[in-house]
Structure 1
Amino acid sequence: AFNDASDYAIEALALPVTNVVAGVRTSDFYASGSLMRVELDPESSLTRGMTAPESVVWFESSPVFSITDSSRVSIAARYPAAGTNPLVSGWLLGEARLAGKPALLDVRRGKGRVVLFGFRPQYRGQSMSTFPLIWNALR
């Protein structure tokens, strides 16, 4: 599920994930139309073929994940830890809410899995750096 569709998938499928910025006032957290840095897990099947240790993603009023049951969830990408600004370009208010949080999750459910993108991997020209994540999710 891409971006806001992740919220629907989390609720409809009772996934062990929450969106920590759902309902947060824009005066406390705001990042509409910004490029953010994420760190990639080289061991994840979702990052297969991506050789750089990080990527840049399009964040547009996107969900920010927190995991409630780590036994069913793998983190493929996360925002940098506190002290490292994730913002590459654009506007970000309340960066502490992103610190170390997952940006791309692979959640096991029954005999299948649900991939949650906390960003828009298919956004215009920015997609060249994130298309591999989509293709790997389809494998």
Structure 2
Amino acid sequence: MPPAARRAPFVGHIPTPAEQHADWLRLLRPDGPFVALPVLTEVFPQGLDTVAPETQQRLRQAWEEVQEDPALLRHGWERLILDELLGWAPGLREGAALPESVRAGANTRTRCWWDPARTAPPHVSSSSVHPAGATP
């Protein structure tokens, strides 16, 4: 076929940022360290970064596994999202690894994003995640 007659391949429906956020929120527990659709839409008005189809499939598979035993697998799911998908592993701190100045108390399930280059502590609350410098 001559170059002028070629058509671009059909891509299908391109989701809006709100549709992207809603799709991802369906994979998350409402009581987890994640936020609601209005917050995601406000913080990421342009939408989320593109995620490779194989990564999307891996996340959906992992989420299905979590549903089989949420109490046992929830922490692993959260780590998968925070470490591998978001790439926060180098700066993520939990429990005793948190600086004393941001610990909420003994045996508190707290985690935060910690930017070691900053001297000020991050904002932390029980069972939540806030990028360093963000106000919860």
TM bin (shorter chain): under 0.3
| Higher-RCO chain (CA-CA 8 Å, sequence separation at least 6) | 1
Quick check: which has more Rg, 1 or 2? 2
